[in-house]
């Protein structure tokens, strides 16, 4: 069935990669087969060509550390030291005379 051995045995250490592989190589193809069969059995050709179709979604699994670099790139107004760009433009310390 494509289930990684670590998940079958119930190992608790380092299961992130086997879980990701299980979702990618076992669950996703299974969902595609279900989606294709539902589209074939429940929707006729005319409706399908008009854009009506069954969609399937799997439970999303993401680790915050997997997407950390992507989130960092998304915050384009924040510079490397995590100040807002408007604060960085103002300059350094204020010199009061």
Q: What's the confidence (pLDDT) of residue 67?
A: 63
In angstroms, rounded to a whole number, what is the distance separating the alpha carbons of residues 9 and 20? Answer: 16
* pLDDT tens digits, 21-67: 888 888 899 999 999 999 999 999 899 899 999 998 887 766 666 66
Residues with Cβ within 8 Å of residue 28, at least 6 apart in sequence:
58
Q: What's the confidence (pLDDT) of residue 7?
A: 83
**Spatial contact of 85 and 78, defined as CB atoms under 8 Å apart:** yes
* pLDDT tens digits, 67-84: 666 655 666 555 555 556
Is 0.75 topped by the overall pTM? no
Q: What's the confidence (pLDDT) of residue 38?
A: 92
């Amino acid at each position: 069935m494509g289930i990684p051995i670590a998940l079958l045995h119930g190992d608790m250490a380092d299961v992130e990669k086997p879980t990701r592989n299980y979702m990618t190589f076992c669950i996703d193809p299974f969902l595609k087969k279900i989606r294709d069969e539902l589209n074939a059995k429940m929707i006729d050709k005319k409706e399908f060509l008009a854009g009506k179709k069954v969609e399937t979604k799997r439970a999303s699994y993401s680790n915050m550390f997997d997407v950390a670099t992507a989130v960092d790139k998304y915050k384009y107004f924040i510079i490397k030291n995590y100040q807002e760009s408007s604060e960085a433009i103002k300059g350094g310390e204020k010199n009061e005379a």
